[in-house]
Amino acid sequence: MTVARDLIGKGLYLRRGRQEFLVELVEVEAYLGPLDPASHAYRGPTPRARVMFEDGGLCYAYLSYGINYCMNVVTGRQGTGEAVLLRAAVPLAGVPAMRHNRGLGEDASQYLLTNGPGKLCQALGIDLRYNGKDFFRDDFKWVDLGKAVPPDAIAATPRIGITKAKDEPLRFVLRESRWLSRKFQV
């Protein structure tokens, strides 16, 4: 949870072939493991959730609603099943490719690029092949963007799109960001 908070404002870089992407994370959600009924780890290390139980630093990617992909950072030690869902980001590099991946024209609002977990993955070209990849290798890189994010710039709110444990404030957002999947309410 404090790990999730620390991801706000971090830069994530991805290279695929000749394409390079860089985004700044502005919205994440913590999923706490087997005791969290909203987590995919709730039923233990099933085939889908297996990488959630690996050591931290891996990518847990899955198909959501048969339509979109979503990506997580595994954050616990081996066996704990903790992960953080990446929900929204600011596009910093590779914007034309993201626009293409999203099927958006030049005139479409820039905020539609990466303001949701499915949109973020589509923009970056993330699919099931990225499940189990290492965010510290495998063409990913964490980038220090050099911005200090003061604690009061980050807000904690309930998680989105879940039915169980919906009241825990485990979604972390950069308060004033225009790139959130939903506007932060006071």
| Interface ranges with DNA (CB under 7 A) | 29, 31, 38-41, 43, 46-49, 52, 60, 62-68, 70, 72, 83, 85, 102, 112, 116-120, 159-164, 181
Q: How far is the CB of 175 from DNA (least distance, A)?
A: 18
CB 149 within 8 A of CB 71: no
* Shortest CB 18 distance to DNA, Å: 25
- Contact indicator for 87, 66 with CB cutoff of 8 Å: no
Instruction: Read off the amino acid at residue 28.
Output: V
Closest by CA to 85, choosing from 109, 100, 68, is 68
Nearest Cα to 40, choosing from 21, 18, 23, 60? Answer: 60
112 or 153: CB nearest DNA: 112
Q: Which residues of 107-126 are buried (b: 16+ CB within 10 A; e: fewer)?
A: eeeeeebbbbbbbbbbbbbb
Neighbours of 170 (CB within 10 A): 24
CA separation for the pair 68, 126 (Å, rounded): 10
- Whether 41 and 53 have beta carbons less than 8 Å apart is answered as yes
Minimal distance, residue 146 CB to DNA, in Å: 28
For residue 121, the minimal CB distance to DNA (Å) is: 8
Please give the structure tokens belonging to residue 21: 């992407």
Q: Which is nearer to DNA, 149 or 160 (CB)?
A: 160
Nearer to DNA, 37 or 147 (CB): 37
- Give the residue with the Cβ less far from DNA, 128 or 147: 128
- State the nearest-atom distance from the C-beta of 109 to DNA, in Å: 11
Which residue, 144 or 167, has its beta carbon nearer to DNA? 167
* Closer Cβ to DNA, 55 or 153, answer by number: 55
CB 72 to DNA: min, Å: 5
